[in-house]
Amino acid sequence: MNSLFKVPLFPDEQLRSHLSRLAHANGRTARLFCSDLGIDADKLLRGDLDNIDKFANLVSLPPAEVFRAALSEEGKEVATAGVRVGKRRLSGHVRFCPSCWQEDEARDDRLPGTRRYLRSVWLLQQYRTCALHGRRIADLGALPRQRNVDFCQLVNLRDSDIRTQTTTSHPEVPSALDCFLHDRTAGQTRYGPLLDGMELAFALELSVRFGVALRHGKHVGQKYISEDELVLASAASIAALREDRDGPGMALDRIIDAPALPSIRNGAALYGQLNPWLCRMKHHPGFGSFAAVLREHAIANVDLPSGSEVFGPVETTPWVTIPRIAKEVGLSPVTIVDRFREAGMITGPVNDALIPRATFDKFRRSIADRVTISDAARDILGCRLDRSIDPGLRKEQVSLSLISFLYGLSFVGKIGVSDEALSGAAARPCVTTALSGRRDLELRPTRTFAS
Ligand SMILES: [Zn+2]
């Protein structure tokens, strides 16, 4: 093989392009060339290490460089050009930039017939415009699999189609996504640690979902969005996530839309449909850094109630919700609202109310010495709250009872009391007053719960 005529493997070239150019430079087709050398072409192009080593040795290239140009499949993903993407992100068509190929053809330092080569980035269907030339990527459509192996033969066969596509490919400004894909497949990282630290597969999936939330709203599913619009959304997302400008803060502000948030402000409320996908991706290498950005932004910019869950608990914040207050002090939410209204602390609708923690602390101090449910039972109805008396009587039947209502602790439920205790209690003015107009209370006499 000393007589082998070698051609360079360009850093952004696909292996099947290089294999074909090498074969044609030596007067063979790719398959015949491989057959002569005892190499399995299909396995080589799929990144089989034995065939990669054999080929690399013959052409005096580092095996890692050859492997980088191959298209190796791993589960639902493929790795090529040093990046990993989902298989569904590959176009499956032969695509090219007319300007790139015009420049190739002008290179008289390359053998005629082997000058044009296939760039790895053209395989990505989201790559729409050449980042170098600002020209729409042309598409020759899907071609029979066996012909895909021999790139030069394919280019010759489709020469007239290539000319037609070249004339119809118009100049257009490459998007941030085009530039990102081009740079990443060329091994360049200049989009900030967030994007540069993500595998391309994760970055592309994230960019689509983040972009849909950004352009259409966080509750809109991507199945309702057209393919073209998804590409635009993805481009908007990359522009927002790159950190050479303002970073993702403004985009996150728009997605979160703080004035429209409910009081329970967890990840689902903040990020809508983006959130469950992110939760599913939590074991992915790119997840941690992105989740940290979301969490940091939310804590700094959103009024989060204590106990919120934004990719980890946010325990102590300047805000509390009514349900959280109710849980902490052991009163019903309705009672809490009544108390706050009485004190003039709540004036509008309460569903989405956030209470300042200082106000809550003041409220908590005001109820610190109030009577317990057991004391109330003994005091008002003359009965004891003791489960050992009647194992069949559930404690909560008492705690959500007339007793607690009278003390403003709760308002609805059933109470088990003796006839004697009931008649005694009903004779008391405060009980009679409380019972009037309360249809949701039921006094149920029982002989087993007696003092
Ligand atoms: Zn180009």
**Tokens matching residue 228:** 């073209």
* 3-state secondary structure at position 311: coil
Longest dimension (CA), the chain: 115
Per-residue model confidence (pLDDT) at position 2: 53
Q: How far is the CA of 231 from the centre of ligand 1 (A)?
A: 19
* 3-state secondary structure at position 138: strand
Q: How far is the CA of 450 from the centre of ligand 1 (A)?
A: 90
Distances (CA, A) of 355 to 268, 320, 340: 21, 5, 10
328 Ramachandran zone, left/alpha/beta (phi>0; psi -120 to 50): alpha
Is the CB of residue 419 less than 8 Å from the CB of residue 389? no
Which residue carries 């689509």 as its tokens?
208
Q: How far is the CA of 133 from the centre of ligand 1 (A)?
A: 5
Q: How far apart are CA 280 and CA 270, in angstroms?
A: 17
Q: How far apart are CA 389 and CA 425, in angstroms?
A: 20
Across the 451 residues of the chain, what is the mean pLDDT of every consecutive 10-residue run? 82 95 94 93 94 95 95 90 89 93 94 94 94 95 70 90 90 93 91 89 93 94 88 92 77 92 86 93 88 92 89 88 80 77 73 80 67 48 40 38 42 39 45 37 33 29
Is the CB of residue 7 less than 8 Å from the CB of residue 22? yes
Number of H helices, E strands in the chain: 25, 11
Q: How far apart are CA 56 and CA 1, in angstroms?
A: 13
Per-residue model confidence (pLDDT) at position 403: 47
What's the burial of 219, exposed, middle or buried (CB within 10 Å: 0-12/13-18/19+)? exposed
Which residue carries 């530039």 as its tokens?
179
CA 368 vs. chain centroid, Å, equals 44
pLDDT per position as a tens digit, 370-420? 444 445 445 545 444 433 333 333 333 443 344 444 444 332 233 444 445
Q: How far is the CA of 119 from the centre of ligand 1 (A)?
A: 10
Count of beta carbons in the 10 Å neighbourhood of residue 375: 13
Q: How far is the CA of 182 from the centre of ligand 1 (A)?
A: 10
Q: How far apart are CA 450 and CA 302, in angstroms?
A: 52
Is the CB of residue 285 less than 8 Å from the CB of residue 269? no
Per-residue model confidence (pLDDT) at position 372: 46
DSSP 190-202: -SHHHHHTS-HHH
Q: How far is the CA of 196 from the centre of ligand 1 (A)?
A: 23
* 3-state secondary structure at position 73: strand
Which residue carries 């066996």 as its tokens?
146
Of 377, 386, 391, 389, which Cα lies nearest the Cα of 421?
Answer: 377
Q: How far is the CA of 13 from the centre of ligand 1 (A)?
A: 13
Per-residue model confidence (pLDDT) at position 438: 36
Its pTM stands at 0.74
Q: How far is the CA of 120 from the centre of ligand 1 (A)?
A: 12
Sign of CA dihedral 260, 261, 267, 268: negative
Q: Where are the alpha helices (DSSP H) in 158-281?
A: 159-168, 176-185, 192-196, 200-216, 227-241, 249-256, 267-271, 274-280
Strand residues in 59-174 grouped as ranges (E) = 72-74, 77-80, 83-86, 95-96, 138-139
Q: How far is the CA of 6 from the centre of ligand 1 (A)?
A: 25
Q: How far is the CA of 387 from the centre of ligand 1 (A)?
A: 82
**Tokens matching residue 256:** 């979160």
CA angle 306, 309, 310 (to 5 degrees): 115
* 3-state secondary structure at position 245: coil
Q: How far is the CA of 97 from the centre of ligand 1 (A)?
A: 5
Q: How far apart are CA 125 and CA 420, in angstroms?
A: 82
Q: How far apart are CA 286 and CA 426, in angstroms?
A: 66
Per-residue model confidence (pLDDT) at position 444: 37
HSE at residue 321, side-chain half, CA atoms within 13 A, is 17
Of 51, 12, 46, which Cα lies nearest the Cα of 33?
Answer: 51
**373 sits in which H/E element:** helix 373-376
Strand residues in 64-152 grouped as ranges (E) = 72-74, 77-80, 83-86, 95-96, 138-139
Q: How far apart are CA 226 and CA 381, in angstroms?
A: 68
Q: How far is the CA of 46 from the centre of ligand 1 (A)?
A: 26
Per-residue model confidence (pLDDT) at position 145: 65
